[in-house]
Amino acid sequence: MERRHRVVVVGAGFGGLALVKSLEGVPVDVVLVDSNNFHTFQPLLYQVATAGLDGDDIAHPVRGIVARQGGDIDVRLGTVTSLDLDRRTVHFDDGPPLEYDELVLAAGAVTATYGVPGVAEHAFGLKNLADALGLRAHVLHQFERVAVDRSLIDEGVLNFVIAGGGPTGVELAGGLVELFDRVLVKDFPTLDVRRARVVLVEPADRLLSTFSPRLSGMARRTLAGRGVEVVLGVGVAGTDGKVVELTDGSRVPVGTLVWTAGITASPLARQVAEQLGDDALTRGGRIVVGPQLTVPGHDEVFVIGDLAGSTDDAGDLLPQVAPVAMQGGAFVGEVIRARRDGVEVGWFRYRDKGSMATIGRHAAVAQLPGGIRLSGTPGWLAWLGLHLVMLVGFRNRVNVLVNWAWNYLTYDRASRLIVGESPPKE
Amino acid sequence: MERRHRVVVVGAGFGGLALVKSLEGVPVDVVLVDSNNFHTFQPLLYQVATAGLDGDDIAHPVRGIVARQGGDIDVRLGTVTSLDLDRRTVHFDDGPPLEYDELVLAAGAVTATYGVPGVAEHAFGLKNLADALGLRAHVLHQFERVAVDRSLIDEGVLNFVIAGGGPTGVELAGGLVELFDRVLVKDFPTLDVRRARVVLVEPADRLLSTFSPRLSGMARRTLAGRGVEVVLGVGVAGTDGKVVELTDGSRVPVGTLVWTAGITASPLARQVAEQLGDDALTRGGRIVVGPQLTVPGHDEVFVIGDLAGSTDDAGDLLPQVAPVAMQGGAFVGEVIRARRDGVEVGWFRYRDKGSMATIGRHAAVAQLPGGIRLSGTPGWLAWLGLHLVMLVGFRNRVNVLVNWAWNYLTYDRASRLIVGESPPKE
């Protein structure tokens, strides 16, 4: 028996899931590949890291998602080790290779440290669930250490430096001060928790550079008002794990350094470049794609999301955010469907739906289409509602709501468990 | 300034928490020591292992619990490495030692493999949260492996052997078949999930030997009716990780071996024996205590819970279950209070409140005081209600309720994430 036309999708993030959904009813076999058996709702990783949500609240089993959808979708748990574009085959770390008729690469991005000395060894990233759980355990562990030996405060063990003033850095900074001021201050009644410092370092002259300057300013003032030390125009020059050196020459003793200052395309991009040459990658290491999100010379290979070098009408690279990935996934699904129906589709065009970042309780900034700008409580409510609706899976939504309501009403956070995911970094 | 009278409590399980609660209002400084920063609700570990509950649902931060109580309670995160009973000092793996005026040892028990070959290396225990998360990841991973390579079924990768037919073994067996038959059968539509085998092995001639023979029989029949292979009168003789050899000489190829066949007192018991001699321990390795739960010759040292060799009126060791620990904790709190008030208290006497074990949806057995015996749906409802009431922390209760209601209504389990807590055992 000849096998049916097979579409292999690498990555069960926002892009991969949107694609699978848009293929509903198309008579092809779909294999969804991911190295985890769950989808991670990345925008809320900072909530896990700051003990506001459980890890399980923002992760949903991939098999459960696709089973609900029905259709001929298979799931493969595994890590892609190489691609053979000529033989149309994907190879894995474990188990047999997989042939495809069409391939969609949606493997996202990973933390990039740009070679800044010591960052890869000593800093925490915040790109996946293991990162978030490891950071949570580490942060809480610092307070436990200081509770036993107060002199560690003078060594900087309660100094938390966040490199990067984008949405992730801003949200993490806001979440940390809230965790400290509302929760840990009660957990450690004999400790002067106010001595904990959160320092947010951003090389540009403002936070949230993709937002309007007015919203950037509001974010900075709100964070500063809540006790975050915002340092603009300065970057991290290096660290030995005990001290962070900034580009202005100043040195900050540190117990925790979080690096949210850069991402780069998944290592899958390099595997494509090995076969097609370095011209196959954009300057930021993404895979060059045509207007239908295919790899030049390989119409059967699509790239979407953070991994794709897709551009806007002006030729600028699109931002590496969830809406781009989701729209790309839906578009590629349409292309695959149209090819089977023998009809034409146009080019991919990203429609900006706006962006949001939350700073904490009753404070968020939102920049919506049509020039609508929200901040403060309205921004926060918009942020809350959008993220609840977006969260995959009804049950997760209920649990997230329970956790949020609980946190809101009590200023408590029940998720502050130190589970040994990763040894504390020194 | 002279320090106040200090009570050091080692272990934040049911016993340690009951003690701390019963010391409310007593003018002493309490230091609660644990190697985790959370209390684990051990009776529901099997629910985490079978993806019915999130890890965070059954764990609650110790500092949150004691902060709610108020009073002069300090928490120390650390592992006790040695005790100096003469100098009244506790030593830790990290940080300075701690002096005490009164010491309460409530460190519980750990898995005991009794030297059965290969069990320590290849079997999973189910005594703590890391065990449960590791087992969950491993179980789900076996199905993912088989999904890629069906021939692994013939090698026994989907055979799950549980050694020990006590409550933990029975509940785990029931939870596993429910996970397979209700959830994974939908997650793996192209896999013949019914080929997965759950084998429950018990050397005695019945399951749940502390229950009445009638309830034992009901448990066996219910499990068998749901597809568990119950093997009585046979134990595990050894394993190499691929095959389990039973004491009747038969061999079962296996992907997962779970050992619930024995526990032994925490290693703290050995530290006491090092100072007081081996006579300080009972045959099962617990610490010998007098009628007020103190160590002979050391009135200032109490032992409660699974670690204590406390006995009933007939001189038999009390069972190592939560109610004994909780009543012991409450009793020692009274003794400490009475000493300060200069009044007398009697001896510790355990009041049996009954015991329960659940087999799955609509099936549990309960043996209550006054000869009341419940089974089937009434037993299950009693079990459900009791555990919800007992769960520490209101928020955990809400979440557990949400998860259970969700599981019940949909036969779905959202917690089936493979998070890399432990590498799969081979």
> Shortest Cα distance from B179 to chain A (angstroms)?
13
Q: Taking CB atoms and an 8 Å limit, are B76 and A148 in contact across chains? A: yes
Short-list B208, B118, B192, CA closest to B161: B118
Angle, helices A62-69/A14-22, rounded to nearest 10 degrees: 20
Please tell me the distance from the alpha carbon of residue B385 to that of residue B388, in angstroms, as a whole number: 5
> Shortest Cα distance from A129 to chain B (angstroms)?
8
Sign of CA dihedral B53, B54, B59, B64: negative
Q: Taking CB atoms and an 8 Å limit, are B144 and A77 in contact across chains? A: yes
Residue B177 and residue B360 in contact, taking contact as beta carbons nearer than 8 Å: yes
| Mutation site, A419, A421, A426, interface B, largest B CB count within 10 A | A419
Please tell me the distance from the alpha carbon of residue B61 to that of residue A416, in angstroms, as a whole number: 6
Cα A375 to Cα A45, A176, A177, A211, A404: the distances in Å are 22, 20, 19, 12, 20
Helices and strands in chain B, H and E counts: 12, 23
Dump pLDDT digits (tens) for A220-241. 999 999 999 999 999 999 999 9
Sign of CA dihedral B145, B146, B150, B152: positive
**Does A414 reach chain B within 8 Å, measured CB to CB?**
yes
Please tell me the distance from the alpha carbon of residue B122 to that of residue B135, in angstroms, as a whole number: 12
Cα B229 to Cα B174, B181, B207, B256: the distances in Å are 11, 15, 12, 15
With 0-12 / 13-18 / 19 or more C-beta atoms within 10 angstroms meaning exposed / middle / buried, residue B360 is: buried
**Does A155 reach chain B within 8 Å, measured CB to CB?**
no
Which residues 312-371 of A are in CB contact (within 8 Å) with B? none
Going across the sheet that includes B197-202, the strands are: B229-232, B197-202, B159-163, B256-259
- pLDDT at position B425 is 45
Phi, psi of B375 (to 5 degrees): -150, 175
- pLDDT at position A393 is 67
Dump pLDDT digits (tens) for A279-292. 999 988 999 999 99
**H/E segment holding residue A6:** strand A6-10
Task: Name beta bridge partners: B153.
Answer: none
**Per-residue DSSP letter, B24:** T
- Which residues in chain B have their CB less than 8 angstroms from residue A140's CB? 37
Q: Taking CB atoms and an 8 Å limit, are A418 and B36 in contact across chains? A: yes
Q: Is the ipTM of this complex over 0.85?
A: yes
Q: Taking CB atoms and an 8 Å limit, are B55 and A147 in contact across chains? A: no
Separation of CA A383 from chain center: 16
Please tell me the distance from the alpha carbon of residue A348 to that of residue B84, in angstroms, as a whole number: 72
Separation of CA A107 from chain center: 12
- Which residues in chain A have their CB less than 8 angstroms from residue B417's CB? 36-38, 55-56, 59, 61
Which of B133, B190, B418 is opposite residue A36, by nearest beta carbon? B418
Q: In the predicted model, what is the mean pLDDT of chain A?
A: 91
Interval A396-420 mean pLDDT: 73
Task: Count how many pairs of residues, chain A against chain B, have C-beta atoms within 8 Å.
Answer: 141
Interval A108-132 mean pLDDT: 96
Q: Taking CB atoms and an 8 Å limit, are B414 and A56 in contact across chains? A: yes
Residue A264 and residue A109 in contact, taking contact as beta carbons nearer than 8 Å: yes
Cα B10 to Cα B14, B43, B81: the distances in Å are 12, 20, 12
Short-list B33, B29, B22, CA closest to B7: B29
Q: Taking CB atoms and an 8 Å limit, are A55 and B56 in contact across chains? A: yes
Short-list A345, A363, A364, CA closest to A355: A364
Give residues with Cβ within 8 angstroms of A159, minimum separation 6. A196, A197, A199, A252, A253, A254, A255, A256
- pLDDT at position B46 is 95
Please tell me the distance from the alpha carbon of residue B335 to that of residue B341, in angstroms, as a whole number: 10
> Shortest Cα distance from A77 to chain B (angstroms)?
6
Please tell me the distance from the alpha carbon of residue B129 to that of residue B126, in angstroms, as a whole number: 8
The better pLDDT of the pair A60, B415 is held by: A60
Phi, psi of B30 (to 5 degrees): -110, 135
**Does A409 reach chain B within 8 Å, measured CB to CB?**
no
Poorest-pLDDT segment among A20-24, A93-97, A253-257, B410-414: B410-414
Is the pTM higher than 0.80? The answer reads yes
Q: How much of chain A, in percent, has pLDDT values that exceed 70?
A: 96
Residue in chain B closest to A396 (alpha carbons) equals B414
Residue B424 structure tokens? 């799969």
Amino acid at B211: F
- pLDDT at position B423 is 42
Interval A205-216 mean pLDDT: 95
**Does A149 reach chain B within 8 Å, measured CB to CB?**
yes
Which of A129, A141, A406 is opposite residue B419, by nearest beta carbon? A129
Which residues 37-96 of B are in CB contact (within 8 Å) with A? 37-38, 54-56, 59-61, 63-64, 67, 74-78, 94-96
- pLDDT at position A1 is 53
Tens-binned pLDDT, residue by residue, of chain B (426 aa) = 567 999 999 999 999 999 999 999 999 999 999 999 999 999 999 999 999 888 888 998 999 888 877 778 999 999 999 999 999 999 999 899 999 999 999 999 999 999 999 999 999 999 999 999 999 999 999 999 999 999 999 999 999 999 999 999 999 999 999 999 989 999 998 899 999 999 999 999 999 999 999 999 999 999 999 999 999 999 999 999 999 999 999 999 999 999 999 999 999 999 999 999 989 999 889 999 999 999 999 999 999 999 999 999 899 999 999 999 999 999 999 999 999 999 999 999 999 888 889 888 888 999 888 888 988 888 888 888 888 877 766 667 777 777 777 777 777 776 777 775 444 344
> Shortest Cα distance from A189 to chain B (angstroms)?
8
